[in-house]
Structure 1
Amino acid sequence: MGKADFFSPKAISNRIKSKGLQKLRWYCQMCQKQCRDENGFKCHCMSESHQRQLLLASESPHKFMDFFSNEFKTGFLDLLRRRFGTKRVHNNIVYNEYISDREHIHMNATRWETLTVFTKWLGRQGLCKVDETPKGWYIEYIDRDPETLRRQEELAKRKKHELDDVERSAKFIEDQVRRGLSTKEEEEDPVYTELQRENEEEKIAFNMASGASSAGPSTSSSLAASSALKKASSSVKRKDTSSASESRDKKKKSALEQIIESEERMRQKQQPVRTDNWLQPDIVVKVVTKRLGEKYHKKKAVVMEVLEKYTAVVKMVDSGDKLKLDQNHVETVIPAPGKRVMILNGNQRDTEAVLEGIDEKNFCASLTLDSGPQKGKRVEVAYEDFSKLA
């Protein structure tokens, strides 16, 4: 019976059958030929080409086995590197994807009998990190690519640089603490003095009789002396308690705490008073929301009225349309130097000024106050804290 034509139904069905994976027991690794049934595999084993391949393999069996083992290892590791990278994955998942290729090298032609033996060998060779779990063996590829190693070195240098910055800041704080301890004034110890009488010749007498009818000069002098003694003792006690409390307060606060408190006080003095709402009537703003369409986006408008601090009724400069917008839907407008502006936030809030210049690096502008008690003063104000006057 002659061979079927290439476009005949039988030839087409044979090609369709041979596309997918077939049974491994009917595959000859030496000849790299897959048979569809047992009869075909038997005929192949009896063929002259197969016998010739067996003779070649019998001359140097280790050479062929090493070749197949190397090909299997290379293909398996390439798939693991490309598909999973350095992620931890089950070895059976990688093997199933590897054998899905019809032209793969079968494991029964290599030096490894099972996938577990191959996984352990990868761990011993340092090619992968392997660990055994109740669910099976997991592997993780070790990337030794020069580019990857270079990126890892750069990342390590960056982390070391960050640690150096932390150590530098810690050393700076230690220097500040040492400087504060050296310049700290010594605590003054309370001075205790003896109680002395002004007139040593005068004698102090106490009259213990409560029902004495006569009280002479001795009685009056004794009363005066006793009252003076009580006042002196109370004043000494007050001094002792006050000095003790002051020394206790001084001992409670360390030098670092005092430095932090002083810096906080200076920061509070320098920090301007700011509020969440900045909308003011008669200022020019720019519409930044896209919900109203391209007709109003990036267009300028004049604030006509402010409602409930955060809402404003604006009039578009181009079309004259009136809109009700939220504070987040608009932004301030920076005019040309020499134009009048309104300060909307900070210590000079609600103050009119003249724009003198713009500092693009610090995102602020130099303004000369044109109203208020500080008229004529020059201040630096951020972009978002002032806007053009209508």
Structure 2
Amino acid sequence: MGGKAEKGTPKYIANKIKAKGLQKLRWYCQMCQKQCRDENGFKCHTMSESHQRQLLLFADNASKYIDEFSKEFADGYVELLRRQFGTKRVNANKVYQDYISNRDHLHMNATQWETLTEFVKWLGREGKCVVDETEKGWFVAYIDRDPAAVAAMEAKAKKEKMDKDDQERMLEFIQKQVERGRKEGDDGTPSYTEFKRESSQERISLSLTLKRKADDKKLELLTSALKSKSKEESSSKKVKEEPSSKKTKEDKDRSKKNALDEIMEMEQRAKEKNQRKDYWLTEGILVKIVTKSLGDKYYKRKGVVEKVIEKYGAQVKLVDEGTRIKLDQNHLETVIPSPGRSVLFVNGPHRGAKGILKEIDTDNFCCLVEITSGSQSGRVVKDVQYEDISKMAA
């Protein structure tokens, strides 16, 4: 009995059951998109005229087909990872098994990757996923690059950093107050001193006889002498007490003045923080590309901001070759030149002012800048953050 089995026969039902499930990968032809059930069927297919025509098309431009198949496979794998697992960390082989469970999937033997390990490493290099290798195999986690999700994560991180900075400044202020109190000796513990009698007057006993006037005269002279002596002692005691009381008053005034300076400094910092913006791109500055989404060709390349697009985007002209690229500010960072070069304030209370970079504090990630334009020309600003200034284009 040749040809196809008749409908309803056991052979027809068996063939349908076999065709329903997944077949072996080595009997699948990607160019013809045909799955064979056994080695004999695959051999017959390779000898067919339609297959030979597809091979001729493939031979004309092999790299084009491989690139298209590779892109389709990578897009399908990443889309399944994003839709089914989100940003959770999951075994790469589990995602692959779910991907190939679809009968119409694109097979890996038609792509540029020979193994799943090579494909996972490629995902990590391209920045599409976070990959790591463990004893149980390779694990992947999808990186959500949706602008809304990225903006939400950055806003959350910025808020946490601001709250942390406020808390640290408050703790630092309290610690300074405690240390100042300890230095002044007011640490709350009682101090015991030797008891001394403040009055140094001596008890004088007089025997008076009122028999004659001469004795009365002597008594008057002795009494006046004692009064003058007590006045001198009290005046000398006041003179001794005056310097100590004056010194104590000066210490109190100094501590009050220091506390007032601390409060004014904290208010100034809060005022500067309110003046900060969530956008910083400015025309005429030099920036650096920090994203790998454009490929290694543009990564870490420098360019000049020619035009700002809706505050958060910019048209950047590369310094070396003159290529123009539109980028978001999240994919760029400021460029800090060497001391003595011109910079522009791109954020903070001095936004828009020009200056000269004087010093760079690499330990605290800040700079010392002298303003050279505007009403504050000549003023030296300390502790300027790296992201608040950028080198000006020549």
TM-score, L = length of structure 1:
0.44
| Higher alpha-carbon Rg | 1
TM-score, L = length of structure 2:
0.44
